[in-house]
Chains A and B, each alone.
Chain A
Amino acid sequence: MINLKVVSPQKVIFEKEVEMAVLPGAEGDFAAMPNHSPFISSLRPGQMAIMSSNKVDESFFVSGGLVMLKEKVCEVLVDQIEPLSDVNSSNYQQSKTYQELEGNETALGTFEQVVNNPPYK
């Protein structure tokens, strides 16, 4: 298990033990698992998925940020985050994340894509 800690500039969103987390790194998706080599990367907009035994337990949209991966800890510093369980294709435009991203076409496009058809499901 790896300790996944998700932090926004305002607060700690959550912190928990997970088997694996898939993150949208700047140069491609990667999976954070225990004993990964120390690694720092920025994030592109995309889906963050928490997985156990090859199934997605929880899924989020992140608009960008940074991730620092150490042996047993994965710290994700996100700009904006939206749990995908709260939004669907009809109401995602009302979400706070959507409004905050106003004007950022690429991020909004990815948001729409992730809501309608997440790469991990």
Chain B
Amino acid sequence: MPNLKELKNRISSVKSTRKITSAMKMVAASKLRRAQELAESSRVYADSLSFILSSLAGNTKNSADLPEILTGRENSKISLLIINSSDRGLCGGFNSNLFRNAKKWISDQQGQGKSVKIMTVGKKASSFYKKTDLDIVASFEDLNSNDRQLQVSEEIKNKIMELFENNEIDEVSILFNKFVSAISQEPTYQSLIPLSNDENSEDESESNNAIFEFEPDKNELLEYLVPRNFLTQIYRSVLESSASEHAARMTSMDNATRNAGDMIDRLTLTYNRTRQAFITKELIEIISGAEAV
């Protein structure tokens, strides 16, 4: 028979766990709202920028005129993957999904005869990849405020431009958890070098109709635009990832709170039964004692 005192302790510890998880859920929910707003409001800039870039690139008939950093190098050998994880845990399968996905991608690339370098964002990714034998070119941690997110995006941009110019990398992709809804996030790849052209297919037809004049000339504009575009795409992925993180934490903490509640119910039931059993046992002892007399 379980010990009453033990059960009582167990119940109170599960209760305090439930308090923590429900507080974390609440915090995540309010942070999610803010992160979502940020992600949405940054979308306008990103969309306009990619519209301008695609009308500029689309305007150039001969793709050989475009700089390598836009079209990518032929025979690319080394690809860089930027992995956007979270700084803190307790957010369900958020990071492990991402790492599992990255593993597949990496072996795919290696199968094509390319070597892979890694850049990590967030503490979880850096501690995970430290244990592997992959080449980590840079790690960024503590993305706890919006200013810091922007700053990190800037640093990543500078780093990849530098690596590309030194021929240390030929391709760049970014992996992040795309925010689909509060209950669903999906690991998504986006190619930075070469520039991916898959999205905004509607915009493209529009851009072909309008013929823009450019000032200063295209090459100078591209020189300004390309780094800007990297920065915006990276920043956007960081924001998406942070919105996803809070969403994932919210759902997993919600589950944890519910599980704790179930557990408390079960434990309380056992506690009451045990208590009742003790009382009955004592009564039987008293009665049978009295009968014996």
Q: Which residues of A contact B (CB under 8 A)?
A: 7-12, 25-27, 37-42, 66, 68, 70, 75, 77
The tally of residues in B whose CB lies under 8 Å from a CB in A reads: 28
Question: Smallest CB-CB separation from B221: which chain A residue?
Answer: A42
Shortest distance between the CB of B243 and any CB in chain A (Å)? 14
Contacts of A7 in B (CB 8 A): 44-45, 48
A11, A38, A66: the one contacting B211 at CB < 8 Å is A38
Closest 6 pairs between A and B when the two form their complex, measured CB to CB: A11-B41, A41-B215, A38-B212, A40-B212, A38-B210, A7-B45
Q: Is B2 an interface residue (CB 8 A)?
A: no
Q: Which residues from chain B contact A77 at a C-beta distance below 8 Å?
A: 45, 48-49, 52
B138 within 8 Å of A (CB atoms): no
B45 contacts which of A9, A25, A70 (Cβ < 8 Å)? Answer: A9
With most chain B CB atoms within 10 A of its CB, the pick from A7, A8, A9, A39 is: A9
* Choice from A12, A26, A37, A66 contacting B213 with Cβ under 8 Å: A37
In the complex, are the beta carbons of B41 and A12 less than 8 A apart?
yes
Query: B42, A9: Cβ atoms under 8 Å?
Result: yes
Query: Which residues from B are CB-within-8-Å of A68?
Result: 48, 51-52, 212
A11, B55: Cα distance in complex, Å: 23
The answer, among B42, B45, B221, B231, for a CB contact under 8 Å with A40, is B221
Task: Identify the B interface with A (CB < 8 A).
Answer: 38, 41-42, 44-45, 48-49, 51-52, 55-56, 146, 150, 210-216, 220-221, 224-225, 228, 231-232, 235
Q: Which of B52, B211, B221, B231 sits near A9, CB closer than 8 Å?
A: B231
Q: Do A9 and B232 touch across chains, with their CB atoms under 8 A apart?
A: yes
Which residues on the A side are within 8 Å of B48 (C-beta)?
A: 7, 68, 75, 77
Which residues of chain B are within 8 angstroms of A42 by Cβ–Cβ distance? 215-216, 220-221, 224
Find out whether the CB atom of B42 lies under 8 angstroms from the CB atom of A11: yes
A92 to B44, CA, bound (A): 29
In the complex, chain A residues whose CB is within 8 Å of the CB of B49: 66, 77
Q: How far is the CA of A38 from the CA of B228 in the complex (A)?
A: 22
Nearest Cβ in chain B — how far from A110, in angstroms?
A: 17
* CA–CA, A7 and B40, complex, Å: 13
Q: Are A66 and B56 in contact (CB under 8 A)?
A: no
The reply to whether A40 and B146 contact each other, CB–CB distance below 8 Å, is no
Give A66 to B53 CA distance when docked, in angstroms. 11
Residue of A nearest to B225 (CB): A66
Complex CA gap A75/B150 in Å reads 22
Which residue of the partner chain A has the closest CB to B216?
Answer: A26
Contact present for B41 and A40 (CB under 8 Å):
no
Docked-complex contact B41 and A10, CB < 8 angstroms: yes
Min Cβ gap B151→A in Å is 10
Judging by beta carbons under 8 Å apart, are A39 and B212 in contact? Answer: yes
Q: Bound state CA distance, A93 and B154, in angstroms?
A: 23
In angstroms, Cα B224 to Cα A40, docked, is 13
Quick check: A39 and B215 within 8 Å, CB to CB?
A: yes
Complex interface: chain A residues within 8 A of B214 (CB): 39-41
Check B224–A66 contact: CB distance below 8 A.
yes
> What are the residues of chain B within 8 A of A9 when measuring CB–CB?
42, 45, 150, 231-232, 235
Cα of A37 to Cα of B55 in the assembled complex, Å = 15
**B156 smallest CB distance to A (angstroms):** 14
